[in-house]
A and B are shown apart, each in its own frame.
Chain A
Amino acid sequence: MALPANPRPSKHATTQRPAGKFAEEISPFGISRTHLRGNLRETADQRLDRMVDAVRFGLALRAGREGNAPPPLNVRAILCALTAAGISFVLIGGWAETIHGSTAGTEEVAVLVDPVAPDDALLRQALERLAARPKLDRPDDGAAGTWETSAGRLVVWSTLPTGLSVATVRQRAVQVDLGNCRLAVATLDDLEGMLAGATSGLPLIRLEALRELRRLVASTE
């Protein structure tokens, strides 16, 4: 038996906070505060695993649609390979945002590496161990290089369009323990700064998710 026609066609049309024990609170931009609060209750490890799992499911569906095998995605393997190689890198981009508790992310892993010795040589070695192949058809966004690795796509930045120096980002980075490796993750301030110019598209959603996250963090401190 069908229930009566929906009196409120959009769940966001008349209220940002529908009633009920399991209701979801949404910001005016459209970011789920409920999910952000849920993420903040978790450890960095749990946030990473939760997002990897969701992305992996999305990739599996895409592969099913296209009739391909799903691409690899093992963010932890990439990060631990770079750490094990002794590279002084900082995790930036969507996966850094995820580790901080954001609800929006990226499929690719982005890191900031100083393009000088010894990190440049160590990076080459780590890329070899990850069976990395350079990806040449990525839009030129200023990244130093993009590789398809055995554990997923890796984008390496050596300078940032925002003018932030590698040294500054690294100095301010927070140390995060992922169980089997410990790595530097850019601060929320720096991640927001890296997206500050975003006015549209998925980067804008990531920026707004970070802003909402910061508001929630500030309100609980």
Chain B
Amino acid sequence: MTQSGAGEPSARARLCRLLLAHAVELVVIGGIAIQAHGIPHVTGDLDVLCRATTWNLERLGRALAASEASARDQPELKFIYPDDVAELVAHDAFAFDTRYGALDVLKWAPNAWDFDAISRRVEHLPVGDMLVPVAHLDDLIAMKRFADRPNDRAVLPALLERQRQQRRDERRR
């Protein structure tokens, strides 16, 4: 993975495109979603929340195999389709490395809200000719509040300030 020029899609964009092309139902959460909302919370991985249905996990498995996924800190542990779909079904959170960069997958939002509820509120943000479903700021705040680790508490004030600012902007419109 090399640094692409300003006009070229990033490898993470290609990873998103691959997941969406496999019809994986997902919402981008975590650092990149927070960054999308205007807060410079920089992390190196793409975090996605996936709908936890068997058919969606099966599609996720196909996409992971196509992205040459492996365990993030153990490249020798490759994701093998279809065998490792059972891993996706059995567990809740996963950290992968792929040919397009690091990918974290959660099956459940930290606040345990239904995927449908979060999915209804997503913002579909354009990147090139793709629309990326990104979690609403209110949901990101709810997830951080619920997870409530020091890491989450540290980023919360910036998220709340951004929420106030967005609401002020909406009122002006």
Q: Say whether chain B's binding surface is mostly helix, strand, loop, or mixed.
A: mixed
Interface segment among A1-9, A123-131, A141-149, A157-165: the answer is: A1-9
Asked whether A72 is an interface residue with its Cβ less than 8 Å from the other chain, the reply is yes
Number of interface residues of B (CB under 8 A): 73
B-contact bits for A95-131, CB 8 A (1 contact / 0 none): 0001000011111100000000000000000000000
Asked whether A135 is an interface residue with its Cβ less than 8 Å from the other chain, the reply is no
Can you list 14 pairs linking A and B with CB atoms under 8 Å apart? A2-B53, A12-B149, A22-B84, A35-B45, A35-B102, A54-B46, A58-B32, A58-B35, A60-B10, A62-B36, A65-B36, A107-B40, A108-B40, A205-B155
Cβ of A10 and Cβ of B112 under 8 Å apart? yes
CB-contacts of A71-110 with B (<8 A)? 72-76, 94, 98, 103-108
Cβ of A21 and Cβ of B87 under 8 Å apart? yes
Asked whether A192 is an interface residue with its Cβ less than 8 Å from the other chain, the reply is no
Residues of A within 8 A of B43 (CB): 54, 103-105
Asked whether A187 is an interface residue with its Cβ less than 8 Å from the other chain, the reply is no
Cβ of B127 and Cβ of A74 under 8 Å apart? no
Q: Smallest CB–CB gap between A217 and chain B, Å?
A: 14
In the A-B complex, the 7 residue pairs with the smallest Cβ-Cβ separation, listed nearest first, are: A30-B151, A58-B35, A9-B112, A61-B36, A30-B149, A24-B95, A20-B91
